[in-house]
């Protein structure tokens, strides 16, 4: 069985966070979604983000929860199939209340941008043509 990844993120307002990500085209697995958390499907069978209300999230760690609007806790990077998909995902995020903290980065073989969600988590989105990447030294 291939390895799966579950990214766990604290959120302040679960219904609002779900609506934000639904507007970007992501769905949720109802089997693992309730009032304490929602299982956002990034890539069915492989990648998920667990959006957990802060009190529930706190039950998994003794450390304080970082305020992602003030501190960077993690950078999540999602691949896209085209430059246009990168731009469209960032456009949807901004329209849904997110922000774009950095400008587009175009390296020819790699094109990236990103957004902050409603809780300040950074989601980088990128497209890359591995055949055009510069050779390793």
Distances (CA, A) of 116 to 6, 85, 105: 19, 17, 16
Q: What is the pLDDT of residue 54?
A: 97
Asked if residues 39 and 28 have their Cβ atoms less than 8 Å apart, the reply is: yes
CATH of 66-137, one of 3.10.180.10, 3.20.20.70, 3.30.56.10, 2.170.120.20: 3.10.180.10
Mean confidence (pLDDT) of the chain: 94
Q: What is the pLDDT of residue 3?
A: 85
Whether the per-residue pLDDT at 135 is higher than 80: the answer is no
- How many other CB atoms are found less than 10 A from the CB of residue 50? 19
Residues 6+ apart with CB under 8 A from 113: 86, 87, 90, 100, 102, 103, 104, 105, 124, 125, 126
Residues 6+ apart with CB under 8 A from 8: 49, 50, 52, 57, 60
CATH of 1-62, one of 3.10.180.10, 3.40.50.720, 3.40.50.20, 3.20.20.140: 3.10.180.10
Whole-structure pTM value: 0.88
């Amino acid at each position: 069985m291939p390895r799966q990844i579950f990214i766990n993120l604290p959120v302040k307002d679960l219904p609002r966070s779900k609506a934000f990500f639904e507007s970007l085209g992501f769905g949720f697995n109802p089997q693992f979604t309730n009032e304490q958390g929602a299982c956002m499907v990034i890539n069915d069978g492989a990648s998920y983000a667990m959006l957990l209300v802060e009190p529930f999230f706190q039950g998994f760690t003794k450390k304080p929860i970082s305020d992602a609007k003030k501190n960077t806790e993690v950078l999540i990077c999602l691949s896209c199939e085209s430059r246009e998909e990168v731009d469209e995902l960032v456009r949807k995020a901004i329209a849904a209340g997110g922000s774009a903290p950095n400008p587009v980065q175009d390296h020819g073989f790699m094109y990236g941008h990103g957004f902050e969600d409603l809780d300040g988590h950074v989601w980088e989105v990128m497209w890359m043509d591995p055949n055009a990447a510069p050779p390793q030294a």
